[in-house]
Structure 1
Amino acid sequence: MMAVTEWKGIFPALTTPFTANDTIDVALFSKNIHAQLAAGVNGLIVGGSLGEAAVLTLDEKQILLQTAAAVSNRTVPVLLNIAAATINEAIQQVELGTKNFVSGFMLLPPMRYKSDERETIYFLKTVAEATSLPIMLYNNPVDYGTEITIEILEALEPIANIVAIKESTRNVTNVSRLKNHFGNRFSILCGVDTIAAECFMMGADGWVAGLVNAFPKETVALYQLVKAKRYDEAVALHRWFLPLLELDIHPKLVQYIKLAQMVTGLGSTYVRAPRLVPEGAEYEQLLQLIHHAIATHPGLPKF
């Protein structure tokens, strides 16, 4: 197990590659992890929304965790996302991660039910207290319906192993609200690709990134440029990157990012039903966007 000593930098929400036979493509998953590590990412997240967690079995999640640990040689933290409808299901996933030596967890409020404040606190508190490993709360009311509010975080603040927040409300001002209210009690990681640069400017500590699966070096460079206060270069890179980053906020983000991975050689387009691979005009428009971005690449800065 590699301890999460700092919740900073780039944490890819890894896609889950499948074969034509709908099994985990371990070789392709390994190839992507190698590319992420070579680019300088700071951690790896398995089984997130982008990883198609809802359609993975516990055995498949174990394959992904074991592969991530083996390929990375535990040189960076490996986190398991917990997206569960019940506390028992969530604790099963805690046990799975612990058995496979994860460094920590990313935790969503209960799935498929919009819990109220008291229910959300009870769920998150109970799951957090089932482990001593560090936890990053995943705040994504846009896609999942339940917001982890300031008031909920106040109730959870005494729980020592809740240490970070993946901020995915799509409201960049929340970074400042959280910093104003809690200081450095929680690390803040941007969870929305399109506003990552703005979040860094306002003090976000890192980025749980999506397009990093297809463009790892560019993602790391954008973070490093802002943190180094090389703003002109950061703005230029961000403006080039934005049409690609917008794939992350589409309902079909999994299909679209996997298509980008296929083009850059880091993945395939296979998805698990009910998702289907884009086709026709939709497919051609996406390919055109991705190829145009590659053709107009501004080059990467030197550090």
Structure 2
Amino acid sequence: MTTTMRGVFAVSTTPFGAEGEQRLDLLTPGLTRALDAGVDGILTMGATGEALALTTAEREDQIRATVETVDGRVPVVVGCMAYRPEDMLDLIAQAAAAGAQAAMITPPFYGGLAPEVAAEALDRVLERSELPVMVYNNPGATGVDLLPSHLAQLRGREAFWSVKETSGAATRVAELRQELGEDVEIFVGADGIALEGFAQGASGWVAASAYLAPASCARLWRLADAGDWNGAVELWRSFGIPLGQIEGSPAFISLIKQGLSALGLEQGPVRSPLPTADHDSVAEVVSAVTALEQEVGSDD
């Protein structure tokens, strides 16, 4: 794949009103804040965006609104997760029609597929995709762990742009880089091990936390990408704890949304049955993130 999209991709949320209605008027401020802080891309319709809780119409409206707001400043990647390859392709076509630059897909979930079978299903999508594709390895959610050897089977497809790696395996990013070479971008997908992934040769970071703390996430990536490991480690020492709190919480989506609301970017509640973060957790994360964002902003 010749596409060179890399760096920090912030994963956007879906704002809701008090009655649970989608609020696209609240989407723009969060996107603009992330863009102004220097993120390199936006990923919409991910888990953080509660994509599976949206109706078809809500999904289409939000993709269009996201593309319009971003307005070409950075690439927009759209989550196109579905069970059947044919449905993934339909979602990718919709994203392409809306003006997105790439799509993200996972193995078919819930079915208990062998990794080889899951890779074959993804290959059928990559063969016909209208957009560059990020393959999201998320064994915790899909029940399938795509090893580097499985992903190597997809290398012949022109649409195979990147891998989002979230298995948590200690040396997985390095193994992927060794197996896939430099033709496929490799993104860290687990916020709590971002710096480890950068050190192993990752191309960037798909970060839910980058929507809450975009300046800090962008700064961390810039330092690592420039080879300033002393600076990156110093930032990570103050950044890693709040990231771990967000990443390790079952209510991480609520944490991010409530955190943004507390910072003046109203997001509303999560949709049932997702859990709601408790007040103390939100206050702790907001305090840490606010201090760090102010510090990073003053450095810039």
TM over 0.5: same fold?
yes
Give me the whole-angstrom Cα distance separating, in 2, the residues matched to 1:176 and 1:227.
15
Give me the whole-angstrom Cα distance separating, in 2, the residues matched to 1:273 and 1:285.
20
Q: Is the 8 A contact 1:19 1:270 kept in 2?
A: yes
**Which stretches in structure 2 are left out of the alignment for 5+ residues?**
none
Match of 1:17, SS? coil
Give me the whole-angstrom Cα distance separating, in 1, the residues matched to 2:199 and 2:168.
15
Give me the whole-angstrom Cα distance separating, in 2, the residues matched to 1:205 and 1:118.
25
Match of 2:274, SS? coil
1:258 partner letter: K
Deviations 1:123-155 (A, max 9, x none): 101122232311010011123211112232122
Corresponding residue to 2:237 among 236, 239, 251 = 239
1:287 matched to 2:288? The reply is no
Deviations 1:21-72 (A, max 9, x none): 2222212211111011101111111100111111112211111111111111
Corresponding residue to 2:119 among 118, 121, 136 = 121
What percent identity do the matched residue pairs reach? 27
Q: What is the root-mean-square deviation in Å for CA atoms of aligned residues?
A: 2.0
Q: How far apart are 1:224 and its partner, in Å?
A: 0.8
Match of 2:107, SS? coil
Alignment of 1:40-189 (within 5 A): 40-189=38-187
Q: How far apart are 1:297 and its partner, in Å?
A: 6.3
Match of 1:71, SS? helix
Corresponding residue to 1:9 among 7, 10, 14 = 7
Q: How far apart are 1:110 and its partner, in Å?
A: 0.4
Normalised to the residue count of structure 2, the TM-score between the two structures is 0.92
Q: How far apart are 1:207 and its partner, in Å?
A: 0.4
Q: How far apart are 1:197 and its partner, in Å?
A: 1.3
Match of 1:260 in 2: 259
1:6 partner letter: T
Q: How many residues align?
A: 297
Normalised to the residue count of structure 1, the TM-score between the two structures is 0.91
Match of 2:295 in 1: 299
1:185 partner letter: D
Q: How far apart are 1:299 and its partner, in Å?
A: 1.2
Give me the whole-angstrom Cα distance separating, in 2, the residues matched to 1:217 and 1:16.
20
Deviations 1:84-116 (A, max 9, x none): 122232222122212212111011000222211
TM-aligned CA distance change 1:136 to 1:221, over 3 Å: same
Give me the whole-angstrom Cα distance separating, in 1, the residues matched to 2:178 and 2:85.
31
Match of 1:137, SS? strand
TM-aligned CA distance change 1:292 to 1:89, over 3 Å: same
